[in-house]
Structure 1
Amino acid sequence: MVGASGLIGQHVVERLRARGHGVTTAARTARDGVDHALDATSATEEEFRALLAGHDGVVFAAGADDRDVPRAPAYPVFHRGNVAPVVRLLTAARQEGLSRAAVLGSYYTHFHRGHPEWRLTERHPYIRSRVEQARAGREAAGPDLPVAVLELPFVFGRAGDRLPNWSGPLDRWARSRSPLVAPPGGSAATTAAHVAEVVTDALERASGADIPVALENLTWSDMIGRIAAATGHDRPVRRLPGAVVRTALRLTGVVQGLTGRQSGIDPAHAGNLLLRELFVTPSRPGSVDEALAETFPRT
């Protein structure tokens, strides 16, 4: 399990062990529960082979986040974080004779397949890296090593002190006295525990499929309102015109350009993406409420 100390990684390890599987854990930083301190972005094929020897499968749950704003051009940074380590890892897995693998990716690849007219890989370096991650990773794995790619939306939940890396600003906003506003559109959502179930099932079946993961589809208004209610600061959510969001995002892009930086999701085109209903049909509908309450507790 590469990326074992993260929110999802911890849930995957727990679920696999509950199913009776032995799990070796690796993460960038040594801590309790991590067997090997290993930075996936710099690890060589030889280091990965030494880690994978004697194992049946591997899970990759690390990489660069879509909120990163590196120096322009951004794509090499996202390639280095999301594509190159997966290629080295799955090359090593093939050489060591592993029989199954899972990569935790993004639901943007799902929309890339379904809506080529959105031109997501042309416009957004992060999405390009996720699409390339799946393609190049499977090519490195070869035909005898099936690689399941889980396409993840917003993930709620908690694992010890680990929370979703986007939850902090939303938590502070929900607990403040500032008005709550939300634009049109929305997103699919799931929980870390549900992702762990899907990963485990994919590994046990040696699946090589693209697997969109979702429990619920939430409008932005519904999501923000439920977050505020979870914190105990329930109040109405006002509608924010899409034009305001597009203008603010474009101005953000201008500022980034002036400072020589570039987002993984290009602000110039982000409005056309984030104001849509980025919904995924759940294979097994459920509720994210319990995990949402863990993410945004009342105290």
Structure 2
Amino acid sequence: MRILVVGASGLLGHHVRAQLLQRGHEVTAVARTARDGIDRAVDVSSAGAERLRDLLAGHDGLVFAGGMDDRVGHKRPVAPALHAGNVVPAVALLRAAGEVGCTRAVVLGSYYTYFARTRPDWQLAAKHPYVRSRIEQARLGRAAAGPDLPVAVLEVPYVFGSAPGRVPMWSVPLFKWARSRSPLYAPPGGSPATSAAAVGAAAAEALERASGEDLPVVQENLTWHDMFGRIAEAVGRPRVVRRAPAGVVRALLRLGGAVNRLAGNEPGLAMKHLDGLLLDELFIEPTSPRSVDEAIAQTARGQTWASRA
């Protein structure tokens, strides 16, 4: 197959491209800026429909590995920026892919949509602009693609791993903390985790099957206590991880929300509702059960550049 990978310079896009090439497929790598390994430098957010059709012509499939992360800060209101970063380019690309006859597509999304789907009583879309943008990305993107183009949405949790010059951005302060002499505290709760390589493999498999499903990509469920302890081991500073009381965490979240309001900022995940996500064990049955320890170690090795910045 010939696959167009948008966002190929990012951590996940890099691994999607690598997996596809390893399986014998042809890949056109697209990113906003030119760099080694990128075939076409295109800002798909501003490219017109005709240019996107030209970009996709001759390809069997599409992977959208771009978008705006939930942790990226933005001036209030954040919803329009999330819509512009996550929904608009995905819809435009999938519409163009359907028009030129692509037969399969994958969008790299968020595991929060899994819980929005399975636990509607949590009202995550109403509470969190980021979750709403990911839900709209899938719904409107599939509608734009049309009935003949199956679109798989990978529901990606916390990711460990590295690529040249890339590590998960959320991991940089956490690994820096683990390297310091400061004590480590972990709140109650936990999250699914996976590796960047596993996301790449899942994307390649979804393309090969022409899947149109919602697909969680989970290797292991980790409590925050366990995750922080493993990170400390990986950076060479193993130590006891202490428990942070839920009440203290909630107070810190309220304080963070107040600081954001005073600064006119708004995160993609609303601080006043974040305790419902952070302090619960948001676990998902592993889809490819495997320890993420090696991916954590890769993240630690890949952060050398960040620690020197």
- In the superposition, the TM-score normalised over structure 1's length comes to 0.98
Displacement of 1:41 in angstroms is 2.1
User: Percent of aligned pairs with the same residue?
Assistant: 60
Q: Per-residue deviation at 1:44?
A: 2.1
- State the shift of 1:258 in Å: 1.8
Is 2:116 the counterpart of 1:112? Answer: yes
Runs of 4 or more above 3 Å deviation = none
* Residue 275 of structure 1: aligned partner: 279
Residue in structure 1 matched with residue 14 of structure 2 by the alignment: 10
1:38 to 17, 42, 46: 42
Instruction: State whether structure 2 residue 98 is matched by structure 1 residue 85.
Output: no
Further displaced range: 38-47 or 74-83: 38-47
Q: CA RMSD in A?
A: 1.1
Give runs of aligned pairs for residues 137-286 of structure 1, distance below 5 A: 137-286=141-290
Structure 2 counterpart of 1:128: 132
d(CA) in 1 for partners of 2:47, 2:189: 39
**Which residue matches 2:68?**
64
Q: Aligned equivalents of 1:103 and 1:59: distance in 2?
A: 6
Local SS of the residue matching 2:237: coil
Q: Secondary structure at the match of 1:190?
A: strand
**1:225-250 deviation line (CA, Å, top 9, x unaligned):** 00000001000000001111111111
Alignment-mate amino acid for residue 84 of structure 2: R
The whole-number CA distance in structure 2 between the counterparts of 1:44 and 1:106 is 26
How far, CA to CA, are the matches of 1:8 and 1:102 in structure 2? Answer: 12
Partner-residue secondary structure (3-state), 1:189:
strand
State the alpha-carbon separation in 2 of the partners of residues 116 and 11 from structure 1: 32
Which residue is equivalent to 1:96?
Answer: 100
Q: After the TM superposition, which residues 47-62 of structure 1 pair with which residues of structure 2 at under 5 Å, given as runs?
A: 47-62=51-66
- SS of the equivalent of 1:171 reads helix
What does residue 75 of structure 1 align with?
Answer: 79
Task: Give 1:284 deviation, angstroms.
Answer: 2.2
CA distance, structure 2, for counterparts of residue 127 and residue 289 of structure 1: 28
Question: Aligned partner of 1:68: which letter?
Answer: V
SS in 1 for 2:194: strand
TM-score normalised to structure 2 length: 0.95
The answer to whether the Cα contact below 8 Å between 1:45 and 1:92 also exists between their aligned partners in 2 is yes
Spell out, residue by residue over 1:198-240, the C-alpha distance to the aligned partner (whole angstroms, 9 max, x if none).
Answer: 1010000000000011000000000000000000100000000
Distance (whole Å) between structure 1 residues aligned to residue 234 and residue 262 of structure 2: 39
User: Within 2, Cα distance between the matches of 1:182 and 1:289?
Assistant: 18
**Structure 2, unpaired ranges of 5+:** 305-309
Aligned to 1:287: 291
What is the DSSP-based 3-state SS (H/G/I as helix, E as strand, rest coil) of the residue aligned with 1:263?
coil
In the aligned structure 2, how far is the partner of 1:170 from the partner of 1:47? 40
On the 8 A contact 1:40/1:62 being kept in 2, the answer is no
Letter in 1 for 2:143: E
Could you tell me how far 1:63 is from its partner in structure 2? 0.4
3-state DSSP class of the match of 1:23? Answer: strand
Aligned residues of 2:217 and 2:288 also touching (Cα < 8 A):
no
Answer yes or no: is the 8 Å Cα contact 1:215–1:282 preserved in 2. Answer: yes
Map Cα deviations across residues 148-207 of structure 1 (whole Å, 9 max, x no partner).
000000111111221111121011100101000000000000001111111010000000
Aligned residue for 1:194, secondary structure, equals helix
